């Protein structure tokens, strides 16, 4: 397994752990912020991909 694949897997695990931490806190504000930030990040990524394609 290459270093890049390993890094990608670790980043995915970190994202899942962040989601789990927000959910396990039970605080609806933290969960809402997490969802909003993930959505904003995905939208930004798509826009950047189109811009630099």
Token representation of residue 8: 């990608």
Quote the domain boundaries for residue 35: 3-51
Quote the pLDDT of residue 12: 95
The DSSP-derived string for the chain is --HHHHHHHHHHHHHHHHHHHHHHH--HHHHHHHHHHHHHHHHHHHHHHHHT-
Q: What is the pTM of this model?
A: 0.69
Confidence of residue 53 (pLDDT cuts 50, 70, 90): confident
pLDDT band at 8 (very low <50, low <70, confident <90, very high): very high
Residue 34's contacts (CB-CB under 8 Å, 6 or more residues apart) are: 18, 19, 22
pLDDT tens-digit readout, 11-40 = 999 999 999 999 999 999 999 999 999 999
* pLDDT at 33 (0 to 100): 93
CA distance 10 to 33: 22
Length of the chain (residues): 53
Number of domains in the chain: 1
Query: Residue range 37-50: average pLDDT?
Result: 94
């Amino acid at each position: 397994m290459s270093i890049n694949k390993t890094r990608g897997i670790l980043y995915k695990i970190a994202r899942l752990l962040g989601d789990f931490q927000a959910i396990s806190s039970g605080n609806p504000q933290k969960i809402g912020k997490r969802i909003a930030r993930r959505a904003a990040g995905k939208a930004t990524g798509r826009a950047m991909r189109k811009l630099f394609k």
